[in-house]
């Protein structure tokens, strides 16, 4: 018997299914992670990684190794046939040919054992050595292998490059031939038992040597893994060798076709092999499905972790939840929509693979979930969709959004719908946290009276602006406003009037801000505008416009009396002499002082050390 395995410890494997695979390099290096609780050794990893690569063509290195070893075999076989002492055949040519045909057929039966394949060629190799001239047996063996491989190539069961390895597959026949020629130079009929053992041992040693060399040179597979498989191969060869001896003896004693009777064993193995291979393939498909399911769940868990690690942004939360559900439920497409705040109108925030054929089902399920506030399922044109609202568990407020998924076949089971509901419920809890976080954030950074940024936020904005200036040279200007005679307003008209004035002036400052600018209450009656990407001339224009608008305000106090409000403005901009937040604020404050000192209700600016 010859034995092969998924990474070719004995070469016939190249005839049929298993090349040296790129995927197996991971297992050879021992760095593929063990999955699904499996505990495997290197051989099993080789089998697992190579299963899907069985029809991959040889790499150049593998072809070169196979061709070199095959060339060495052919040279040895021809030398034996020409140079060895002449030995007579012990059976007619037709019997030898019949046994060779049986050998060729048996070489196509690859019975899975452990991580490899057992091929019952030993049943006919022994009769060939007994019935045919031993020096010619290696040539007969390689011819049988070549015919079997060529038939498979013509049937498109294997690639043509498998012919490169027929010599590698046949090396195991050279060593026994040498032993027989040395022990029984005239006839192998009177072969002693110890010589049979020597021939068998020589066969095994040559087999492990050639297969190990082939895999080491061609694929880099360590010999240790080869030997682990070959231990089982040797045991099976040892068990089948006596059957081959008995068939050969019966043929010599007059039963010429006795070896052909062993085809019954080969046929039995072929039937069992077919069934066993189908079961292995089915198990492999199930294993791959489990791995795919595990991968989807791992991605879903990772998405949920991303949600916890996110910066509490609703759009990001809906996106992460939708993607987690998409992976966990094995959907074909999905979308996440946020509530626009106007009834039940939804605004698309994120999509995955929204093909045109999925759109009708997605829309139907999403609208139903928005109307009912419950998990909704819709089927349109054989496309199934499921949608779930994202709301706080209390259910007292409108849903923050809807997550919708679609599949082209199979629909969504109750279990998958329950999983989507769970994910959306957790997202609902997080959405409530987002709202509370937004309120707290606004309270922490907003002045309660004016609604402008407070002093803390003001310092943060100025600091960020100076950092941007240092990195990229982005301009930054600061406007400081101080209401003229504000203490007198508070003392004579009351604090309620003073608060009214501050709110009115704050509204003016907001109208003077562009996108990206920020107005703030610096402290007391002092207000500010931080102008991003503004040079000093533009900042002066904004300051003058704001001063004029404040002076034009028509205000009344709590008793209905008219009230006139003016402001002094100090302006400063980052530059060679002003590069730090403290220096910028000090420069604007100095300019503000100059404006006050010059008569109030005017704009002054600070450039370097000069106030104008």
Predicted confidence (pLDDT) per residue in 310-333, tens digit: 545 677 788 888 888 888 888 999
Domain co-membership, 236 together with 341: no
346-396 tens-digit pLDDT: 888 888 887 888 999 999 999 999 888 899 999 998 899 999 998 876 655
Count other Cβ atoms within 10 Å, centred on residue 180.
Answer: 26
Q: How far is CA 187 from the centre of its chain?
A: 64
Domain co-membership, 522 together with 588: yes
CATH of the domain at 430: 3.30.450.40
- How crowded is the C-beta side of 556, counted as CA atoms within 13 Å? 4
CATH of the domain at 574: 3.30.70.270
Domain co-membership, 466 together with 421: no
Q: How many angstroms separate the Cα of 149 from the Cα of each of 4, 158, 251?
A: 15, 8, 28
Per mean pLDDT, which range of 200-204, 301-305, 328-332 is the poorest?
A: 301-305
Instruction: Tell me the whole-structure pTM to 2 decimals.
Output: 0.43
User: Is the per-residue pLDDT at 415 higher than 90?
Assistant: no
Q: Which pLDDT does position 226 carry in this prediction?
A: 61
CATH of the domain at 15: 1.10.1760.20
Confirm whether 292 is domain-assigned: no
Domain co-membership, 459 together with 441: no
118-161 tens-digit pLDDT: 788 888 888 888 888 888 988 998 888 888 888 888 887 777 77
Closest CA to 572 of 558, 551, 598, 592: 592
Q: How far apart are CA 549 and CA 511, in angstroms?
A: 10
Instruction: Give the chain's domain count.
Output: 3
Cβ(3)–Cβ(233) below 8 Å: yes
Q: How far apart are CA 526 and CA 541, in angstroms?
A: 19
pLDDT above 90 covers what percent of the chain? 28
Confirm whether 266 is domain-assigned: no
Domain co-membership, 252 together with 342: no
Range(s) of the domain holding residue 486: 455-611
Closest CA to 191 of 233, 244, 121: 244
Domain co-membership, 425 together with 463: no
Banded pLDDT at 263 (limits 50, 70, 90): confident
Q: Which pLDDT does position 388 carry in this prediction?
A: 93
Confirm whether 78 is domain-assigned: yes
Banded pLDDT at 296 (limits 50, 70, 90): low
DSSP string over 280-298: HHHHHHHHHHHHHHHHHHH
CA angle 441/444/445 to nearest 5° reads 90
Helix (H, G, I), strand (E, B) or coil at 611: strand
Confirm whether 272 is domain-assigned: no
Query: Which residues are part of the catalytic machinery?
Result: 525
The residue from 259, 275, 296 where one domain ends is 259
User: Is the per-residue pLDDT at 18 higher than 50?
Assistant: no
Domain co-membership, 436 together with 491: no
């Amino acid at each position: 018997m010859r034995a092969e395995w998924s990474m070719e410890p004995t070469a016939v494997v190249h005839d049929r299914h298993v090349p040296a695979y790129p995927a197996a390099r991971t297992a050879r290096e021992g760095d593929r992670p063990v999955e699904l609780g499996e505990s495997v050794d290197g051989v099993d990893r080789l089998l697992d990684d190579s299963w899907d690569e069985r029809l991959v063509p040889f790499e150049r290195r593998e072809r070169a190794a196979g061709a070199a070893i095959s060339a060495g075999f052919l040279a040895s076989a021809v030398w034996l046939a020409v140079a060895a002492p002449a030995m007579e055949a012990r059976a007619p040519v037709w019997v030898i040919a019949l046994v060779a045909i049986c050998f060729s057929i048996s070489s196509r039966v690859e019975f899975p054992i452990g991580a490899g394949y057992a091929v019952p060629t030993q049943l006919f190799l022994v009769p060939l050595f007994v019935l045919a001239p031993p020096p010619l047996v290696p040539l007969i063996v390689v011819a049988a292998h070549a015919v079997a491989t060529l038939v498979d190539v013509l049937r498109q069961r294997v690639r043509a490059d498998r012919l490169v390895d027929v010599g590698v597959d046949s090396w195991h026949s050279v060593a026994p031939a040498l032993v027989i020629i040395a022990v029984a130079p005239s006839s192998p009929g009177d072969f002693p038992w110890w010589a049979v053992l020597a021939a068998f041992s020589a066969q095994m040693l040559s087999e492990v040597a050639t297969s190990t060399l082939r895999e080491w040179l061609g694929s880099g597979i360590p010999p240790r893994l080869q030997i682990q498989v070959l231990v089982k191969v040797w045991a099976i060869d040892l068990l089948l060798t006596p059957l081959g001896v008995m068939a050969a003896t019966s043929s010599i004693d007059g039963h010429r076709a006795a070896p052909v009777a062993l085809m019954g064993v080969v046929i039995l193995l072929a039937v069992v092999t077919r069934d066993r291979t189908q079961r292995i393939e089915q198990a492999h498909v199930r294993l791959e499905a489990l791995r795919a399911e595990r991968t989807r769940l791992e991605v879903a868990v990772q998405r949920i972790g991303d949600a916890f690690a996110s910066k509490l942004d609703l759009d990001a939360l809906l996106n992460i939840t939708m993607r987690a559900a998409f992976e966990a439920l094995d959907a074909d497409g999905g979308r996440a929509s946020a509530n626009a705040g106007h009834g039940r109108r939804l605004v698309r925030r994120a999509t995955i693979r929204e093909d045109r054929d999925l759109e009708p089902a997605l829309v139907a399920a999403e609208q139903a979930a928005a109307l009912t506030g419950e998990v909704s399922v819709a089927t349109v044109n054989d496309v199934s969709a499921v949608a779930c609202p994202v709301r706080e568990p209390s259910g007292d407020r409108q849903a923050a959004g809807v997550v919708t998924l679609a599949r082209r076949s199979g629909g969504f089971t109750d279990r998958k719908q329950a999983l989507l509901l769970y994910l959306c419920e957790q997202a609902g809890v997080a959405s409530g946290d987002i709202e509370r976080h937004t309120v707290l954030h606004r309270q922490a950074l907003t002045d309660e009276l004016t609604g402008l940024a407070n002093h803390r936020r003001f310092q943060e904005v100025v600091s960020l602006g100076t950092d941007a200036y240092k990195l990229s040279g982005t301009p930054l200007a600061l406007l400081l406003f101080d209401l003229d005679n504000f203490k007198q307003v508070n003392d004579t008209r009351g604090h309620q009037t003073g608060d009214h004035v501050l709110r009115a002036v704050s509204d003016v400052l907001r109208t003077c801000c562009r996108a990206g600018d920020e107005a703030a209450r610096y402290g007391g009656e002092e207000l500010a505008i931080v102008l991003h990407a503004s040079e000093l001339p533009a900042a002066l224009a904004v300051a003058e416009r704001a001063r004029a608008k404040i002076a034009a305000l028509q205000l009344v106090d709590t008793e209905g009396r008219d009230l006139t409000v003016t402001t002094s403005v100090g302006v400063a901009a980052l530059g060679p002499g002003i590069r730090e937040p403290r220096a910028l604020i000090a420069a604007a404050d100095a300019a503000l002082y100059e404006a006050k000192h010059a008569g109030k209700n005017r704009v002054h600016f600070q450039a370097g050390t000069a106030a104008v």
